[in-house]
Structure formats: structure tokens, C-alpha cells
Chains A and B, each alone.
Chain A
Amino acid sequence: MRYAETGFSLEVDLTRGNIERVETDPEWTQLYLGGLGTNAKILWDRVPPEVDPLSPENLLVFGTGLLCGTPATGANRTIVSTFSPQTRLMAYSMMGGFWAPELKFAGYDRVIVRGRSPGLVYLWIHNDKVEIRDAGHLHGKGALETAERIREELKEPKAQVLAIGLAGENRVFYASIEHARSSASRGGIGAVMGSKGLKAIAVRGTKDINMARPAEFFQLCQQVLDYIPKRAQDPVKGVPPILAGIGSPQEMAIHDEKWHTTGFAWGHARRRRKDFWTPERAVEWKQTQDQAVERLISCYNCPMKCGGIVTHPELPTRKYMMKCYSKLTYVMAAMVDDLDFGFRIAGKAQEYGFDGYTTPQVMAFAIELYEAGILTDADMPGFPERNDERFFYLLDKIAHREGIGDVLAEGVYWAARKIGKGAEAYDHNTTKKHEQMPIKLGMLNPIFFLMYATGEKISITQIEGQIPQAPLPKDYREEFVKDWVHLPTGKEARFKKFILEWGDEDKRFPFWPPMDLVCELVDWMETMHYIDDCTGICAGLSSFPIKPPYHIHNLPLFLSHATGIDIDEETLWTISRRVRQLVRAVNVRRGLRRKDERPPQDHWKKRFPELEAQLLDQYYAFKGWNREGIPTRKSLENLKLDFVAEDLIRRGILTGGGGTPSEATATEAAHK
């Protein structure tokens, strides 16, 4: 018997209409755990680098974390992996909700979709019965509406459904996959699903997930549940309310939006409005939010209430579910000061199935081009005067890929190049062809520099966490580090010292802290995220907040007791590193190099090119990568990734000695 996992993948070939239940190799669990790790291995093995993301040969993998479906609190993440039409690299987006546990209960650890269906279809998985069903009648339907309709026609109110909206069907490069109160949004994976002719996957499962050491495992779960309310009573001091607690940012519950509205940039990631948050605004926004949010809701088996049921009189969809900071992304990008606009447009955008981070930026970019005369009324007939109306106008055009919408549907990077006439100069906030967080700050932050530059998820919030984002108040630092049990073994003294000193005279960015410490901190944060992405535990309870319930000391126990495979801290660290290395290799094979690893030029006003180059050099070396950012043969072999090293050498990406043939040009690029 397999523990914690089912031991089976569901292989679906939409071209031939073939469905197979395939037993997986138990060794993979030891090497990659599950979730992202196994997805990366599958993509490495089965999708050659020349495959076009929107072609039938691309795979779309819906993975579940190894702990999904166990009683571990918050283990509910679906990890969707494929290749992005926008970045052309591995797209790797995740969502909470209920889908992953349901799939496990149906008897599968993942669904691997390949090929392309001749007509629009959806997949219905009910334990051992799996059907490809016609979805012609769902063409153009909203993502949430699709889920409702499928549940009705199957007469299965308990089925969990993920679906794309019109944006995905039309292969918009930032189309999301929507499910319940969650979405897997980044990288345009909704477009890949659309390219396969797959509208939705509905799943209902009534089988068991087994625990290897039930009593021990359950005790761990109870410790986590005991910790959560205690932690809520003990918020981290000296940080904005949004960062003081745990969970995904509590945007549906918290009214104080000073941090986002004054700290993040408005418009097309252009300027901060430090005086935006006034007492009057606070009252007005609170009213709007209280009217809109009917109930706070959660994902499967998690007490954190990060989501909300939103109702709005003008919404055609009656209600929808929202989480995190998408209530603000449209507001701020459109420069509309009314929070009500945010709730209104996010509802529509969710039915279309749009990424709430990229979409507002693309639309703000279009408005900039219009105001600069690069786009004209000829490109945008009937373009309204007001920004809120303009956003609705653009949203419709992009979802339908109509007129200018067809160009904008490929995101800022590609659209700028298609439009030409100087539009390229307006592409100022992308990294690796993907829209970044709209943050513009003063002084270079070496920690965030490395995360922006090298993060494979290409979305910064996905690898940060554990440490505060700014120095803590001096008189609080001692108290903060006292019960900081989360630190990796051997790093305790060093990381505590960092917190105690940070912010003191001469202990400020960018030349402090020492580079080796910067590397260690970034590596720690990233490692914790990679673990979560393999276990399916929500980052909101683990890698994202400060002092979370899950950490490097209890996670190995969770995994050991769940699976029966003994995993200690060091082993877990090694697995995480292996997965990280594999994801990097997948992207390196598709052409990712040092020259691509650049945060937006205007992200910080004060930049230090030499320091940045040194940081990259040092971090690459720390990670076991050469100066081009390519994993070295030795580091791959140390992680039992010999097959990766062999392939990279065979392709001439690595030399037999493990170096890179084009090292000189890379250094040049880094210093540009």
C-alpha cells in the first residue's frame, strides 16, 4: 500500500481520446515528493525544449501535493505545471481550494493532459470512471458559471471543478484556471488548457488516503491547530497589519490598506501615492468592503479565512469569490480611487478567467500608449474617456481577442514589440517577459534583488517569506528572536544576529548584510517555498508569513509519518534543492540564461550594477550554478540528477567538464 499518495497518475490524451490509469514509481516519491517536484520531472522527461507551449505536444500537469488529502491543515494545493506561451519557460502556478484533495480521494495523484481535442471538451473523473465529455454548450461561458453548470448536469453537487473562461479558450497569454475561491493564474496556463480544447475538469472521489503512522501524524496536526490561534493572539509587531499574522494576506478581512495603496505603484507600475490613505478614505473603503464581502471563506481543511464571498448588485454572476490583493490590482492600475470598482471588475475578470496581477498592468500599459499617441482611436474605436470604463472596454477586447485586444492578449512584452512605434520603451516592468509586481522603491534591496532575478516562478511573492521586509523596531528585536524556532539547524545564531542588527547605523542595504548571508537568507526562503510546492501545504501557513505553524523542523516529521519514508531535515533540504535544480535545468534547456535574470530597471531608483553582478555570481555559486546560471555537472550529480547533466552535456549547454562554452559573453551581459 502507498501512504499519503495514491500511487497513480491519470494520463489523458485528448487527441486520441485515450485515458489510462498508470501506476507511478515509488522511488519518485523519495526523490521529488510530489506536486511541483514530480511535475518538473515529468516535464523534463517528456517535453523536449523545442515544443511550442500551445502545441498538442506540450503537457499540462495538474499535480497534487504529497500531503494533500491527509489531515494536515492547509494541505490542499493543486500545482499546475506546463510551458508558458508568454515566457516560453516552465509555467508553474498553484491554487488552493478543494480540487487537489478531491482528486486524491478519487484515486489519483495527478492528471497529465496531452494532445488537443478536436472540439471543446471537459473531463469528468468519478473514482475509477473517467469520461471525456462534450463541452460545446459551455463555449464562451464564464469559469464559475461553467463549474456550476457541470455540477448541475452531472447531478453531483459535491464535484470539484476547475475551469477556464473565455480568456483561456482564446489563449490569452495570462489566462487563469479558476476553481472555487482560488485560481492558478500565473504564466498563462489557462491558455495552454484552452489550446488543448479542455474547458474544465470535474472530479469527485470517495476513496481513502492512508497514513503510515496514524497516531504520530495526527498528533502533529493537532500541534499545528493549537499553534494557529496562539499565533493569532501574538501578531508580529512593527510590521504592517497585512504582514503581522499568518495566512495569505488577509485582504478580505483587513480594511487598513495603507501599506498596499501607499507602498505599491499605481498606474502601469509608475508612481507611488504616499498621501493616498487618508482617514476619510479609510472610512469610505471600509464601508465599500463591508457591503461587498458577505462571508469569509477558506480552502479545504484550513481555518484561515483568506477568501471572501463577494456580492455586487451590478454583477451578472450574482456572487463570486475573491482572495488576496486582487481587490486592489485593478483599482491601482486604473488609477480609480474607488474600491467598489475593484470588486466590480474583478468579478467580471474572474468569469473571463484572467490573472489578476498581469491583466491590470497590461490594460494600464494600453492606456499609457493611447495617451502617448502610440495607440490611437483607429486602434481603439470608441475608447471611453474615463479610466474605469476604459478598463472594462479593454477587458472585453482582450478576452475576445478583438481588434487591439488580440495584440494585448499576449502581455506587455510581446504586445510592445508587435505595436512598435516606440511602445517597447513602455515595457518597463517585466522580468523574463512576464509582468512583475507593481513595486517601485528607492534603495536596492540585495535580498529581493536576488529573488526577482533568479526566482523561477517569476512572481516575487511566491518565494519570499520567513523574515520581515524591513528592519524591526529596535526595542522589539530581542523579543522577536526569542521564540523564533523556525530557523534551519546551524543557522540560528547567524539569522538572529541579522534581525538584531538590521537597521542599525551602518547595517543597511545595499552593502550590508554580507553577500554570503544574503545568499543564505534567499536560499532559506526559497527552499521553504519549494517544500510547500511539493507537499501541497499552503504557503500562507508555511513559507510566506513570519513565524508560521509549519517549518523546517516539523515538516520532515509530517512527511515521515504520512509516508513511512524517514525524512529528516537534511534529507528534506536535499529534496528541495533537487527539485529547485531540476526546475532550473528545465528552463536552462529552454534557453534561460544570466542575461534574462534582471529585475525591472526602475524597480529601485538606486542601482549598483557591480554589486548586483557580484551578488548574482555569488548566489549562482552558492546554488551550484555556473556563471551563466546553469547547474554544474557536479551539483547535478550530487543531487542524483545525472540524467540531467548528461542531457545538458549532450546538447552542448554544459561542457563535459561542467563549464559553459559561452561564459565570456555572459559576464559581459551581466555587466551591461
Chain B
Amino acid sequence: MAEKKKKTVKVIKIDADKCNGCRACEAVCSAFHATPKYSSTNPARSRIRVVCEPLKNIYLPVYAGEYTPAECSGRDKYVIDGKQYSECDFCRASCPSRDLFKEPDSGLPLKCDMCEDDPDLEEPLCVQVCLSDALVYEEREEEVEEQESPEELEIGLEELAKKYGKQKILDAVSRIYGNREN
């Protein structure tokens, strides 16, 4: 099933040392994803968030990732360059433990889509507005061994085979469809 495939990997390189904490990325993200586009601004709807703790000199842009139905047990602390971060500061999940990366009205999860648009944008907007270069967009070609992901039907059949045995399934299929034209 595995085969080599060329794939464009889209990456945003985050240089937190360069972040000036202006949150232009949050503003523009929420505007881009408004319907109609740019019709409203609301950083609470943004799919990027800058963790700002000026009096600790902590500035950390974080992108919204996968939704998680349950909070994790991780509550570790990280100390980097003498500054203490919580594990949550780095986490991209839309998670029940916090109000981050959720639509403020509905609570539905938000996820960064790299400003998917038609036609494609040159760079995601957060990168475009970050004149400090804390956010830099990178694209690279990668050859990946891609595992074809099984389709729903296959998953179902495999489960049935596990329960009834392969032969019974084959028999059933030929009995039902064997004599028909389509």
C-alpha cells in the first residue's frame, strides 16, 4: 500500500524572540475568517494567539491545532532562558480546559488553515502582517511515504470479516451480487 509521494509541506516558523506583542496576527486572522471576508474583527475568534506576559518578557505566538474532546494530564512547567512557561502555553489544541481557539459564541473549535483561499494567498495573512518577522512562512517539497488511508467501506468490511470470518463475507457478497448485472 505504501508509496513515495511528493508533497508540499507548509510551515510557519515562529521566532518568539522577534515578537513585539502587537497581535496584528490575531486581528488579521479574525478578519480573514469572517463571513463575508474582512467584514468583522475579533481577536477572540483568531486561530493564532500571542501569549503575552510583558513583565516576564514572555511573547509566544501559538497556532490553533486539532480539537481535543478531553483535557490532557500534562501540567508540566518549562523554564527557558530563566522564564517559566506552562505546558499549555505551547499547546495548539482547542481543549475543554480553556477558552482558547473556540468560537466565542458557539464554542465550536477553531483550527488554523493557513488562510486557505481561492486563489491561494502567497503567504498566510498573519505572516504578511508580521513586519517583525516573528512569523515566517516556509514551503518545502518533501518526499513522504504515504500510507493510503483506508476508506470507510474497507474498515467496515474488515470488521465484518473479523466477526464472521472472511469466507462467510465472500459467500454473502457472491450470493447477493453474483447473479445480477449491476
- B110: chain A residues at CB < 8 Å are none
Given the contacts A71-B31, A229-B131, A295 and B57 also touching, CB distance less than 8 Å: yes
- A229: chain B residues at CB < 8 Å are 131
Binds B, one of A296-304, A353-361, A474-482, A498-506: A296-304
Given the contacts A71-B27, A298-B22, A319-B55, A206 and B41 also touching, CB distance less than 8 Å: no
Determine the residue in chain B with the shortest Cβ distance to A318.
B55
B55 near A208: Cβ-Cβ < 8 Å: no
A71 near B55: Cβ-Cβ < 8 Å: no
- How far is B44's CA from A399's CA once the two chains are assembled, in angstroms? 38
Interchain nearest-CB distance for B91 vs A (Å): 15
- How far is B20's CA from A207's CA once the two chains are assembled, in angstroms? 24
Judge if A566 is at the interface, Cβ distance under 8 Å. Answer: no
- How far is B54's CA from A296's CA once the two chains are assembled, in angstroms? 11
Judge if A324 is at the interface, Cβ distance under 8 Å. Answer: no
Given the contacts A229-B131, A297-B54, A71 and B38 also touching, CB distance less than 8 Å: yes
- How far is B101's CA from A518's CA once the two chains are assembled, in angstroms? 54
Interchain nearest-CB distance for B30 vs A (Å): 8
A303 near B27: Cβ-Cβ < 8 Å: no
Determine the residue in chain B with the shortest Cβ distance to A303.
B131
Judge if B43 is at the interface, Cβ distance under 8 Å. Answer: yes
Judge if B132 is at the interface, Cβ distance under 8 Å. Answer: yes
Given the contacts A70-B41, A105-B42, A298-B22, A319 and B57 also touching, CB distance less than 8 Å: yes
- B38: chain A residues at CB < 8 Å are 71, 211, 214-215, 217-218
Given the contacts A70-B41, A207-B42, A299 and B22 also touching, CB distance less than 8 Å: yes
B27 near A301: Cβ-Cβ < 8 Å: yes
Determine the residue in chain A with the shortest Cβ distance to B130.
A303
- How far is B54's CA from A294's CA once the two chains are assembled, in angstroms? 10
Judge if A144 is at the interface, Cβ distance under 8 Å. Answer: yes
Per a CB cutoff under 8 Å, which of B36, B41, B44, B45 touches A71? B41
Q: Which of A261-316 contact B (CB under 8 A)?
A: 294-303, 305, 309, 311
A105 near B57: Cβ-Cβ < 8 Å: no
The CB with the most chain A CB atoms within 10 A, among B21, B34, B37, B44, is that of B21
Per a CB cutoff under 8 Å, which of B17, B24, B36, B104 touches A214? B36
Per a CB cutoff under 8 Å, which of A70, A144, A214, A298 touches B21? A298
- How far is B52's CA from A181's CA once the two chains are assembled, in angstroms? 12
Determine the residue in chain A with the shortest Cβ distance to B31.
A71
- How far is B87's CA from A550's CA once the two chains are assembled, in angstroms? 41
Judge if A210 is at the interface, Cβ distance under 8 Å. Answer: yes
A300 near B23: Cβ-Cβ < 8 Å: yes
A211 near B132: Cβ-Cβ < 8 Å: no
- B129: chain A residues at CB < 8 Å are 225, 303
B42 near A73: Cβ-Cβ < 8 Å: no
Interchain nearest-CB distance for B77 vs A (Å): 16
B24 near A302: Cβ-Cβ < 8 Å: yes
Interchain nearest-CB distance for A71 vs B (Å): 5
Judge if A439 is at the interface, Cβ distance under 8 Å. Answer: no
Q: In the complex, how many residue pairs between chain A and chain B have their CB atoms under 8 Å apart?
A: 102
Per a CB cutoff under 8 Å, which of B21, B36, B43, B53 touches A105? B43
B20 near A298: Cβ-Cβ < 8 Å: yes
The size bracket of the interface on A is 35 or more
- How far is B37's CA from A215's CA once the two chains are assembled, in angstroms? 7
- A398: chain B residues at CB < 8 Å are none
The CB with the most chain A CB atoms within 10 A, among B41, B43, B45, B57, is that of B41
- B39: chain A residues at CB < 8 Å are 210-211, 214
Judge if B67 is at the interface, Cβ distance under 8 Å. Answer: no
- A300: chain B residues at CB < 8 Å are 22-23, 27
- How far is B43's CA from A207's CA once the two chains are assembled, in angstroms? 9
- How far is B24's CA from A98's CA once the two chains are assembled, in angstroms? 11
Judge if A228 is at the interface, Cβ distance under 8 Å. Answer: yes
Judge if A192 is at the interface, Cβ distance under 8 Å. Answer: no
B22 near A303: Cβ-Cβ < 8 Å: yes
The CB with the most chain B CB atoms within 10 A, among A144, A157, A218, is that of A218
B44 near A218: Cβ-Cβ < 8 Å: no
- How far is B56's CA from A321's CA once the two chains are assembled, in angstroms? 11
- How far is B162's CA from A256's CA once the two chains are assembled, in angstroms? 78
Q: Which of B44-70 contact A (CB under 8 A)?
A: 44-45, 53-57, 59
B54 near A305: Cβ-Cβ < 8 Å: no
Judge if B40 is at the interface, Cβ distance under 8 Å. Answer: yes
- A157: chain B residues at CB < 8 Å are 53
- B24: chain A residues at CB < 8 Å are 73, 301-303
Given the contacts A228-B131, A303-B22, A206 and B44 also touching, CB distance less than 8 Å: yes
B54 near A309: Cβ-Cβ < 8 Å: yes
- How far is B57's CA from A211's CA once the two chains are assembled, in angstroms? 34
Judge if B28 is at the interface, Cβ distance under 8 Å. Answer: yes
A206 near B54: Cβ-Cβ < 8 Å: no
The CB with the most chain A CB atoms within 10 A, among B22, B31, B129, is that of B22
- A295: chain B residues at CB < 8 Å are 17, 20, 57, 59
Interchain nearest-CB distance for A496 vs B (Å): 30
Judge if A69 is at the interface, Cβ distance under 8 Å. Answer: yes
Q: Which of B61-110 contact A (CB under 8 A)?
A: 104
- A208: chain B residues at CB < 8 Å are 34, 40-42, 45
The CB with the most chain A CB atoms within 10 A, among B17, B43, B56, B59, is that of B43
Determine the residue in chain B with the shortest Cβ distance to A228.
B131
A319 near B54: Cβ-Cβ < 8 Å: yes
Given the contacts A301-B23, A309-B54, A319-B57, A209 and B131 also touching, CB distance less than 8 Å: no
Residues of B within 8 A of A (CB): 17, 20-24, 27-28, 31, 34, 36-45, 53-57, 59, 104, 128-132
Can you give 14 contacting A-B residue pairs, CB < 8 Å? A148-B55, A180-B54, A181-B54, A206-B44, A210-B39, A225-B129, A295-B20, A295-B57, A297-B20, A298-B20, A301-B27, A303-B22, A303-B129, A309-B55
5 more contacts with CB within 8 A, not counting A105-B43, A214-B38, are A69-B41, A206-B44, A208-B40, A295-B17, A309-B54
6 A-B pairs with the lowest CB-CB distances in the bound complex, closest first = A206-B44, A214-B38, A298-B22, A303-B131, A208-B40, A206-B104
